[in-house]
Amino acid sequence: MKATSLVFGVSVVAVSLVGTAAFPQSPLKPLYEAKCMACHGATGLANSGIGKLMKVKPVTDPSVCNMPEAEMIREVREGAGKMEPYKGSLSGAEIKALVDYFKTFITKN
């Protein structure tokens, strides 16, 4: 009985660890959700009500997915179109990290 319980316990831990490694959650997700998701959507497709209303381009739009990283960073820092500038509320490192996170949607969509 003890051996069966031990094997079961080890199996549960192993499955938990494999699941965590296979599906990691980015630590940037909460920041993206707080600052970007309302307009850009959960996966960058700008399919939220506000995103549609403001005519935000989805990550699949060539002008977005081909935009150089430096330009994306500048637009987040300084603002672009109807997007407010984030230079006063986010650090340069946070802005760069959010752009990197947003760019992951390009390969997913």
Question: What residue spans define the domains of the chain?
Answer: 26-108
Convert the pLDDT of each residue in 7-32 to its tens digit.
434 343 343 444 333 335 678 999 99
Q: What is the CATH number of domain 26-108?
A: 1.10.760.10
pTM for this entry: 0.73
Name residues whose C-beta falls within 8 Å of residue 35's C-beta, 6 or more positions apart in sequence: 86, 89, 90, 98
Q: Determine the Cα angle at 41 with ends 39 and 42, to 5°.
A: 145
Burial class (CB in 10 A: 0-12, 13-18, 19+), 25: exposed
SS3 state of residue 47: coil
Predicted pLDDT at 107: 82
Name residues whose C-beta falls within 8 Å of residue 106's C-beta, 6 or more positions apart in sequence: 44, 59, 60, 65
